[in-house]
């Protein structure tokens, strides 16, 4: 019987938790809770995550929110020395890249994707899209240089550092990445992994099933 529950529809940051669970080969239950009053902000789920946001997990009674805390926790629990670095410095680098992704590029990629791809064309704001593209340009050059020197962020092997950054910027795969070819090659490599493909399939299905009015609500709720 599955003891890990992952809450959150796959088009949300729950994608990150689904990807790590697939990488680790975990037996898990996915509860595709919707954002807002119909889901995460209902009393039932607020009792588990008082932030009213997605994702959150319940791992045999242990509740955790914040998508990248979830990926780091699961990787450390199940894969020290492989997906999760065993050495202190490499672990710190995984944290560095994870915090970097949240602080530097998470919001920009989200805004770009809403106004370039996800909102109905007539409702996209070109100024917001272009501004978001500019905001991520400098951090993207930093990432491009890092993965130009080596195959993955911490060396030769894919780790949770790559998963976290690639998951945060996964929607940037639809951007013009011509200025950052190393980033584009690395992101493609990460998203081509069988586990990523499984999680992406869930995300694409959720995207495709999302009516425009929900996408509008997402943009409003998240002030994007
Ligand atoms: N920093 C949080 C952000 C969580 C977040 O903003 N989730 C979005 C969905 S991707 C959400 O639930 N938004 C709806 C709301 O805020 O009501 C994380 O990484 O888990």
Q: pLDDT digits over 50-81, tens only?
A: 999 999 999 999 999 999 999 999 999 999 99
pLDDT at 1 over 80: no
Query: Token pair for residue 13?
Result: 């940051």
Provide the whole-model pTM.
0.97
> How does DSSP classify residue 157?
S
Model pLDDT, residue 124: 95
Quick one: which atom of ligand 1 is closest to the CA of 55? 20
Which residue among 7, 8, 13, 169 has the greatest number of ligand 1 atoms within 8 angstroms of its CB, and so is best to mutate? 13
Check if the beta carbon of residue 165 is closer than 8 Å to that of residue 104.
Answer: no
d(CA 121, CA 102): 27
Q: Which percentage of the chain shows pLDDT scores above 70? A: 99
Question: Would the CA dihedral through 179, 184, 185, 186 be positive or negative?
Answer: positive
Burial class from Cβ neighbours inside 10 Å (0-12, 13-18, 19+) for residue 38 reads: exposed
> How does DSSP classify residue 200?
H
Residue whose Cα lies nearest atom 10 of ligand 1: it is 12
Q: 223 falls in which pLDDT band (50, 70, 90)?
A: confident
- Determine which of 62-76, 167-181, 207-221 has the lowest per-residue pLDDT on average: 207-221
Quick one: which atom of ligand 1 is closest to the CA of 52? 17
d(CA 31, CA 117): 26
Check if the beta carbon of residue 10 is closer than 8 Å to that of residue 202.
Answer: yes
Which residues line ligand 1 at a C-beta cut-off of 6 Å?
Answer: 12-13, 35-36, 40-41, 52-54, 66-67, 221-222
């Amino acid at each position: 019987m599955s003891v890990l529950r992952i809450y959150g529809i796959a088009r949300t940051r729950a994608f990150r938790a689904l990807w790590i669970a697939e990488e680790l080969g975990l037996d898990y239950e996915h509860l595709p809770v919707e954002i807002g009053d119909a889901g995460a902000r209902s009393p039932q789920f607020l009792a588990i995550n008082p932030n009213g946001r997605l994702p959150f997990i319940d791992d045999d009674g242990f509740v955790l929110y914040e998508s990248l805390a979830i990926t780091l926790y699961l990787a450390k629990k199940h894969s020290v020395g492989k997906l999760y670095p065993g050495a202190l410095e490499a672990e710190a680098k995984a944290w560095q890249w994870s915090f970097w992704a949240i602080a530097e590029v998470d919001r920009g990629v989200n805004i770009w994707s809403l106004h370039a791809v996800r909102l109905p064309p007539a409702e996209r704001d070109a100024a917001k899209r272009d501004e978001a593209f500019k905001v991520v340009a400098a951090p993207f050059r930093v990432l491009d240089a890092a993965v130009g020197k080596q195959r993955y962020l911490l060396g030769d092997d894919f780790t949770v550092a790559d998963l976290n950054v690639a998951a945060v910027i996964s929607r940037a795969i639809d951007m013009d990445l011509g200025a950052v070819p190393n980033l584009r090659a690395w992101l493609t490599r990460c998203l081509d992994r069988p586990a990523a493909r499984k999680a992406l399939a869930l995300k694409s299905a959720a995207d495709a099933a999302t009516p425009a009015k929900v996408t509008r609500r997402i943009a409003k709720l998240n002030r994007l």
